[in-house]
């Protein structure tokens, strides 16, 4: 049972355009939703994260939109640049899991930004 579903699998955007990646989750206990960015040959790196007490969080050109009732969240990359070309993973975790703050990941989206 996949608890975090991510789409699309791949995305091609022109430079200056908006990239949108979507994730849906099933476990209503999830209360922490990070996005990670991974360049080829590197480990994923935390990009931005949101808690369900807010519907949107913005950091520079990156914005997370969160819809608690629909159990969905998305990453928006404004003014996409070729340097944004990478694989993006959404994740979710239950911060009141007393055992550990382990995350469940989506399958990833490969973003290509064409110059």
Question: Which positions touch another protein (CB under 8 A)?
Answer: 6, 9, 32, 34, 36, 41-46, 49, 89, 93, 95-96, 98-108
Q: Which is nearer to another protein, 11 or 17 (CB)?
A: 11
CA distance 51 to 41: 30
Contacts by 65-71, CB closer than 8 A, 24 or more apart: 66/33, 70/24, 71/24, 71/25, 71/26, 71/28
Q: Which is nearer to another protein, 66 or 108 (CB)?
A: 108
Q: Which is nearer to another protein, 96 or 115 (CB)?
A: 96
Evaluate whether 87 touches 108 at the Cβ level (below 8 Å): yes
CB 111 to another protein: min, Å: 15
């Amino acid at each position: 049972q996949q608890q975090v579903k991510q789409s699309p699998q791949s995305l091609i955007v022109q430079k200056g355009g908006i990239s949108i990646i979507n994730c849906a989750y099933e476990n209503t206990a999830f209360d922490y939703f990070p996005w990670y960015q991974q360049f080829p040959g590197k480990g994923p790196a935390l990009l931005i994260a949101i808690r369900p007490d807010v519907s949107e969080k913005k950091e520079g050109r990156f914005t997370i939109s969160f819809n608690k009732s629909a159990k969905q969240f998305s990453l928006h990359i404004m003014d996409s640049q070729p340097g944004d070309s990478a694989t993006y993973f959404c994740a979710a975790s239950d911060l009141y899991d007393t055992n550990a703050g382990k995350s469940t990941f989506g399958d990833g989206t490969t973003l290509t930004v064409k110059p």
